[in-house]
Amino acid sequence: MTIRYSALDAIEAVLPVADRFPTLGPLPKASDHFGENVFHLTAMRDYLSESAYLEMQAAIQHGQTVSGQTAEAVAEGLLKWATDRGATHFTHWFQPLTGGVAEKHDSFYKPAIVPGELGIEAFSAAELLQREPDASSFPHGGMRGTEAARGYTLWDPSSPAFLLETRNGRTLHLPAVFVSYTGEALDHKAPLLRSIERLNVAATAVCHYFDPEVRRVAATLGWEQEYFVVDKKLYNARPDLVLTGRTLLGAPSPRGQQFEDHYFAAIPERIQHFMVDFEREAGRVGIPITTRHNEVAPGQYECAPMFEELNPAVDHNLLLMDVMQRVADRHDLRVLFHEKPFAGVNGSGKHNNWSLATNKGKNLLSPGKDPGTNLQFLTFFVNVLQALNRHEAVLRAAIATAGNEHRLGANEAPPAIISAFTGSHLEEVLHRFVQHGPTSVAAATDDRELGIRGIAPLALDATDRNRTSPFPFTGNKFEFRAVGGGASCSPAMTALNVMVADQLVAFKVAVDGRVERGATIEEALVAELRVQAADALRIVFNGDNYSADWYAEAGRRGLSRHATTPQALAPLATAEVRDLYARHGIFSARELDARLHIQLETYIKVLDLEARTLDQLLDSHVYPAVNAYLDGQQAQALRFADLGMTDAADHVKARLGHVFGLLRETQELEHRLHLETEAAHHLPTPAAVADAFAETVKPLGEEIRRRVDQLELLVEDGQWHLPKYRELLFLR
């Protein structure tokens, strides 16, 4: 029996939900367990002295550094809090440039050195503040050699510590940044924190034109996470899913997403069990998930939290991906976060809803009733658009990965061209503002009578939706929709923060200049905003971003239209982008080069892995299945010939010829895949290697796939080894 058939048998044997979860018991409220494994301010109040508590509060709410004395008190409080809850180990939890998270557990228990003595549980400020992993074993892009390997993780007190548990133990996790001996960032959190601070300083300064009492401006993030769920046994029978996260082969299922019957459909029972479980686990570590639903593709779902400040929101997304996979395991399921696990149906993105909030709780992107005369709103709205307009290539580079390449531009996800959607009303506001300065523009937001008895009138939003835009304004926030499903939010958010900070700094210089030359602040703001808005309109596009017209129009507007990852990454090597990152102290030229290098290397490694996995799939799964089928057909042709049934024999022979032809073509293409992969690796620079993989190796893989997917449909079902799309997408 094929591995596929045994997996299918095993699914049949899965106990019905009612037997696996026999008693329902009393159901807890979310508030009963929310945050119970988090060292949040309320827990700190019980475990810290008054002064330590206040210092931690300032660290969390104002990004202040924690003093050595307080660190001592926090370490003591944390040890007590964690061990009271059964934790035996602690770890710095950091975000190396692999894009995932890393941890190394150390025990609180310190065995005694003196013979015959017993050890004790202890945790020092030094252990809390700083750890030293081997930096050369993580991606460093040449910033560390194996002989100069020192790297440090440093505790980030602004993101709360939490306990992660397995059935038999708990570990205290301390969010941390990861830097080299020379102080260069080796992770995604250090630059994010720097960018958050730059944005805070720049935005607070601009806020002072309107309200001198604003102390701090925080970027906020609410991500929406799309994902697929497949049965674990089927997953395990697909080496391509296990090794690369996506299917490299697989004929389309006749039923796909054409009935548009999956989006928001009733959630399947087995999946809802999984959702309820992972949401509870997420809640216990403080991730405020609020939304769950079926997504467009069969087997695809989404969840979203209440938005939070950017740094904890990014941490929470990474933590959630980890929690989801652990919980899925208990349900014999597997979560796929890959941007494009299946050809022919939608891929998965991670929409990043982003806004700016003052310490007084005001959302700076809230348009209010009359955006056309709301100078504070217009200031931030126009400056974000202008930041995008000036630095679109930077944002495009921040989402360029091998996985996302399948999604961007594939008429289901935002295209690979960055533009912003404002809706027609705000576009009109911008045009009028450029021409006349502040002007009220009426919006069609009056309630609309539906004329259905018993149904309240429709309360209209100011803008309709545009699902084709990568960067739509959605009422009081921007939604960056082009981030990959498996990616960390951090690189995209760092880029966005820096772009906006840079623009706000330039804006303030220009406004202050006008004031020095005699304008009032209001005159200066209006005059400068009119100039910036006129410019920023280049990036605004409210039409269909999937259309060929837009592609041409974007070219006329001079926007980047990079289709491949290496092309999209290339701007990172330009003086303009280097200056931007260096000017704000986010990345030195060396750090940026290292990152570019790592991204190119990762791209090459992913495509190389896919090529080699495809090769193994062909040799050990596809060819044996096709050969077995050919043997059977050949025997049949001979039997027909023996019986004198020439017509029937010819018919089978024709079929044999067709299958054999596809097999030959596949084998020839496979041979070329070997040669081209080899040749690519011999090119002189990573950029050249990456280009060759994008332009030669990847298309060959797709050519092979086209043949094999035809073979899958010809070969007898019982002989095909790899679980089919219909099974992966529909069986649960």
Name the residues that contact ligand ADP, by CB under 6 A: 220-222, 224, 291, 304-307, 353-355, 363, 476-477
Residue 700 contact, options ligand ADP, Mg ion, none, Cβ 5-8 Å cut-off depending on partner type: none
148: left (phi over 0), alpha (psi -120 to 50) or beta: beta
CB of 453 to ligand ADP, least distance (A): 29
| Paired residues of 353 in beta bridges | 222, 479
Residue labelled with tokens 């931690």: 56
Residue labelled with tokens 């495509």: 607
Question: How far, in Å, CA of 471 to CA of 22, rounded?
Answer: 46
The residue with its CB nearest to Mg ion is 351
CB atoms within 10 A of CB 80: 15
Residue 346 contact, options ligand ADP, Mg ion, none, Cβ 5-8 Å cut-off depending on partner type: none
Decide if 680 contacts 696 (C-beta within 8 A). yes
User: Quick one: which of 546, 540, 379, 552 has its CA closest to 472?
Assistant: 540
DSSP 620: I
> Which CB sits closer to ligand ADP, 236 or 476?
476
CB of 467 to Mg ion, least distance (A): 9
CB of 540 to ligand ADP, least distance (A): 20
Q: Which spans of this chain sit near Mg ion (rule: CB under 5 A)?
A: 351
Largest Cα–Cα distance in the chain?
105
CB of 348 to ligand ADP, least distance (A): 14
> Which CB sits closer to Mg ion, 293 or 514?
293
Q: Residue 696's Cα: distance from chain center in Å? A: 27
Residue 578 contact, options Mg ion, ligand ADP, none, Cβ 5-8 Å cut-off depending on partner type: none
Residue labelled with tokens 């042709």: 637
Residue 376 contact, options ligand ADP, Mg ion, none, Cβ 5-8 Å cut-off depending on partner type: none
Residue 317 contact, options Mg ion, ligand ADP, none, Cβ 5-8 Å cut-off depending on partner type: none
Residue 236 contact, options Mg ion, ligand ADP, none, Cβ 5-8 Å cut-off depending on partner type: none
> Which CB sits closer to Mg ion, 303 or 429?
303
> Which CB sits closer to ligand ADP, 253 or 352?
352
Question: How far, in Å, CA of 596 to CA of 340, rounded?
Answer: 23
Tokens of 235: 């997953």
> Which CB sits closer to ligand ADP, 224 or 691?
224
Question: How far, in Å, CA of 112 to CA of 108, rounded?
Answer: 12
> Which CB sits closer to ligand ADP, 304 or 708?
304
Question: How far, in Å, CA of 206 to CA of 140, rounded?
Answer: 36
CB of 496 to ligand ADP, least distance (A): 12
Residue 477 contact, options ligand ADP, Mg ion, none, Cβ 5-8 Å cut-off depending on partner type: ligand ADP
DSSP 231: E
Residue 374 contact, options Mg ion, ligand ADP, none, Cβ 5-8 Å cut-off depending on partner type: none
CB of 94 to ligand ADP, least distance (A): 25
CB of 223 to ligand ADP, least distance (A): 6
267 CB-side CA count, 13 A:
18
> Which CB sits closer to ligand ADP, 153 or 348?
348
Residue 272 contact, options ligand ADP, Mg ion, none, Cβ 5-8 Å cut-off depending on partner type: none
Residue 35 contact, options ligand ADP, Mg ion, none, Cβ 5-8 Å cut-off depending on partner type: none
User: Quick one: which of 570, 615, 596 has its CA closest to 244?
Assistant: 615
The residue with its CB nearest to ligand ADP is 222
**Amino acid code (one letter) for 602:** T
> Which CB sits closer to Mg ion, 235 or 478?
478
> Which CB sits closer to Mg ion, 351 or 390?
351
CB of 313 to ligand ADP, least distance (A): 8
Decide if 336 contacts 229 (C-beta within 8 A). yes
> Which CB sits closer to Mg ion, 283 or 349?
349
Q: What would the DSSP string read from start to end of 422-446?
A: -HHHHHHHHHHHHHHSS-----S-S
CB of 561 to Mg ion, least distance (A): 24
Residue 306 contact, options ligand ADP, Mg ion, none, Cβ 5-8 Å cut-off depending on partner type: ligand ADP
> Which CB sits closer to Mg ion, 351 or 595?
351
CB of 49 to Mg ion, least distance (A): 43
With residue 479 as reference, give the H or E element that holds it.
strand 478-480
> Which CB sits closer to Mg ion, 351 or 530?
351
User: Quick one: which of 110, 102, 107, 42 has its CA closest to 77?
Assistant: 42
347: left (phi over 0), alpha (psi -120 to 50) or beta: beta
> Which CB sits closer to ligand ADP, 496 or 618?
496
User: Quick one: which of 204, 213, 216, 535 has its CA closest to 386?
Assistant: 535
Residue 94 contact, options Mg ion, ligand ADP, none, Cβ 5-8 Å cut-off depending on partner type: none
Residue 291 contact, options ligand ADP, Mg ion, none, Cβ 5-8 Å cut-off depending on partner type: ligand ADP
Decide if 507 contacts 528 (C-beta within 8 A). yes
CB of 489 to ligand ADP, least distance (A): 12
> Which CB sits closer to Mg ion, 350 or 351?
351
CB of 349 to Mg ion, least distance (A): 9
Helix, strand and coil in the chain, % to nearest 5: 50, 15, 35
169 CB-side CA count, 13 A:
9
Residue 172 contact, options ligand ADP, Mg ion, none, Cβ 5-8 Å cut-off depending on partner type: none
> Which CB sits closer to ligand ADP, 235 or 354?
354
CB of 304 to Mg ion, least distance (A): 8
641: left (phi over 0), alpha (psi -120 to 50) or beta: alpha
Residue 433 contact, options Mg ion, ligand ADP, none, Cβ 5-8 Å cut-off depending on partner type: none
354: left (phi over 0), alpha (psi -120 to 50) or beta: beta
Decide if 132 contacts 150 (C-beta within 8 A). yes
Q: Considering Cα of 594, then 600, then 603, then 609, what sign does the dihedral take?
A: negative
Residue 377 contact, options Mg ion, ligand ADP, none, Cβ 5-8 Å cut-off depending on partner type: none
> Which CB sits closer to ligand ADP, 292 or 514?
292
CB of 194 to ligand ADP, least distance (A): 20
User: Quick one: which of 283, 228, 231, 234 has its CA closest to 257?
Assistant: 228
C-alpha pair distances (Å), 361 with each of 172, 199, 218, 330, 582: 31, 17, 10, 40, 31
Decide if 288 contacts 220 (C-beta within 8 A). no
CB of 365 to Mg ion, least distance (A): 15
CB of 220 to ligand ADP, least distance (A): 4
479 CB-side CA count, 13 A:
21
User: Quick one: which of 211, 77, 2 has its CA closest to 712?
Assistant: 2
